[in-house]
Amino acid sequence: PLPVVVTGAASGIGAAVAALLVAGGTPVIGLDRHASAPDGVDARACDLSDPAAIDAAVAALPDRLGGLASVAGVPGTHPPERIVAVNLLVPRRLGAALTPRIAREGAIVNVASVAAQRSAATDAEVAAVLDASGDAAVLAAVAAHGLDGSATYDFTKKALLALTLRQARDGLAAGVRALSVSPGPTETPILGDFEQTMGADRMAAAAQVVGRHGRPEDNAPLIAFLLSREARWVNAVDIRVDGGLLGVR
Ligand code: NAI
Pair type for strands 42-45 and 238-241: unpaired
Tell me how far the alpha carbon of residue 44 lies from the centroid of ligand 1, in angstroms. 16
ipTM: 0.99
Please state, in angstroms and rounded to a whole number, the distance separating the CA atoms of residues 51 and 234. 30
What's the pLDDT at 72? Answer: 98
User: In the structure, which protein residues have their CB atom closer than 6 angstroms to any atom of ligand 1?
Assistant: 8, 10-14, 32-34, 46-49, 71-74, 86, 111, 113, 183, 185-186, 188-191, 194
- Separation of alpha carbons 228 and 205, rounded Å: 35
* Tens of pLDDT, residues 111-126: 999 999 999 999 999 9
Quote the ligand 1 centre to 61 CA distance (angstroms): 22
For residue range 204-242, what is the model confidence (pLDDT) as tens digits? 999 999 999 999 999 999 999 999 999 999 999 999 999
pLDDT reported for residue 249: 80
Span from the CA of 9 to the centroid of ligand 1 (angstroms) = 9
In this prediction, residues 151-161 reach a mean pLDDT of 98
| Backbone φ, ψ for residue 9 (5° rounding) | -75, -5
How far is 84 from 154, CA to CA, in rounded Å?
Answer: 10
pLDDT tens, 141-151?
A: 999 999 999 99
Nearest ligand 1 atom, CA 14: 26
Ligand 1 atom at minimal distance to the Cα of residue 75: 34
Q: What is the mean pLDDT of residues 6-18?
A: 98
DSSP label of 121:
-
Residues contacting residue 61 through CB under 8 Å, at least 6 positions apart: 5, 29, 98, 101
Give bridge partners of residue 6 from the DSSP assignment: 30, 69
191 noted as active-site residue: no
Domains for the chain: give ranges and CATH numbers. 4-241 (3.40.50.720)
Active-site pick, 153, 176, 185, 243? 153
